[in-house]
Every structure is written in C-alpha cells, then in structure tokens.
Amino acid sequence: MYQLCPSILSADFNRLGEQIKILENEGVQWLHIDVMDGDFVPSISFGMPVIKSIRKESKMFFDVHLMVTEPERYIQDFVNCGADSITVHAEACEDLERTIERIKDAGVKVGVSIKPATPVNDISHMLGDVDMVLVMTVQPGFGGQKYMDECTEKIQELRELIDKENLDVNIEVDGGINEGTLETVMKAGANIFVAGSWVFGGDIAENVRHIQKEIEEISDRIE
C-alpha cells in the first residue's frame, strides 16, 4: 500500500479547510499533521484546536506526528480531538514502551519516529509493537529542507528487518520528498510519503494528480 500523505504545515492556513477539501476530492486518504512544541524542536506549530476544527469537516485518516517532549502527557487529548494515528519520537519519550502502550490503549494506530542521527537499532526491538515507523529524512522542525541521502540506508535497514520478521508495519518518510527523491525512498522500502511544498506549492489538485501518477509508475517499475 503506497500512500501520499500531504503535510498541512505547508498549507495556506487562511484557506486550510478549502485546501483539505481539494485533497479529498483528488482521492488523498491520509493527512499528515505536525505538532511542534518549541522544546523538542525549535518551531511551534499548532495543537488540538486546529485538529478538532478540521476533523468536523474531513473523513481523511489523520496521521498526527508529535514533535513534542514527553508526548505521553497529551495522547488522550489528541485522540479526543480526532487523531487516527499518533506518532511519537523515540528521542522525546522517557519511557517509549509505556508511551506506545498508552497510544494502543487509546484505540488509535501507533507510530514511532527517529531523527536522522538516531540508529534503527534504537527501535528495532519494538517493531512488533507499532503500526508504522517514521524516518525523518531532514532535521525535524522546519519545512523545505533538502533530503539527507544518508537516511536511505536506514529505510533499507528497516524494510529488511520488517520483512524478515514478516511484520505488517508501514515505513513513512518525511523531509525533502519530491520529484528527485520519491523513487529513491520507494526503492529503499518506504510506502507512505509525507510531502509539503510539493503538494501545496501552486495548483494543489494538479500536483496531487502528478504525484499519484509518479507513485503508480515507480511502483510498476520496482515491483
């Protein structure tokens, strides 16, 4: 299953509802929602009120990425406002195992994310407990960065581990995903692609159609 997962961090917040509707009309099923606290990452983005307001109007799968320190504190709040999946950073949790259990108990999908410098080995023992691993392919906290080539090997390593253990775990990539890097991450084994400016820069509907076509063509080539 390949999924385009547009990141609303790159949307025009004056027209957010309208732009999400365009995505839905083009068949996009997942929406990536970056929550930043100004502590774990330097930037501050948005929180529960924004998610709650767009949840009322959207049936999309809300892929909520918590770039916050000690995310365990907020899990139930994000579930209550409409998250379908919650991804926490391995580096941000005092007790990652307990945090993952809390997300499961809350009844939503669970993801774990690693920054570019964090080795796969730090989370490999937990692959059987999560639905998704998010590999950050830029430093978290800012949009518009260039894809870090050294992350390709981490995606490959993860895919090999997941396949070896015959697990049903998605690999999501976030950072610098565009025309020049999509095929690289797909060949490495990623299947969910977070894209910001590639989707929201210009004509959104046209961009989505182009990206979906690219995903289809690349998958035909590599499978």
* The model's pTM: 0.96
* Residue 179, C-beta contacts closer than 8 angstroms, at least 6 positions apart: 198, 214
* Residue 165, C-beta contacts closer than 8 angstroms, at least 6 positions apart: 127, 128
Query: Residues comprising the binding site for a divalent metal cation?
Result: 32, 34, 65, 174
Query: Residues comprising the binding site?
Result: 7, 32, 34, 65, 141-144, 174-176, 196-197
Beta bridge partners, 89, equal: 113
Enzyme catalytic residues: 34, 174
* Per-residue pLDDT, 143: 64
Where residue 195 sits, what CATH number does that domain have?
Answer: 3.20.20.70
* Per-residue pLDDT, 204: 98
Task: Decide: 133 and 97 in contact? Cβ < 8 Å.
Answer: no
Query: Residues comprising the binding site for substrate?
Result: 7, 65, 141-144, 174-176, 196-197
Longest dimension (CA), the chain: 46
> What's the domain count of the chain?
1
Task: Decide: 2 and 219 in contact? Cβ < 8 Å.
Answer: yes
* Tens of pLDDT, residue by residue, the chain (223 residues): 899 999 999 999 999 999 999 999 999 999 999 999 999 988 889 999 999 999 999 999 999 999 999 999 999 999 999 999 999 999 999 999 999 999 999 999 999 999 999 999 999 999 999 999 999 999 887 666 799 999 999 999 999 999 999 999 999 999 999 999 999 999 999 999 999 999 999 999 999 999 999 999 999 998 7
Could you tell me the residue range of the domain that residue 100 belongs to? Answer: 3-222
CA separation, residue 17 to residues 12, 24, 58 (Å): 9, 11, 9
Distance CA 112, CA 175 (A): 16
* Per-residue pLDDT, 43: 87
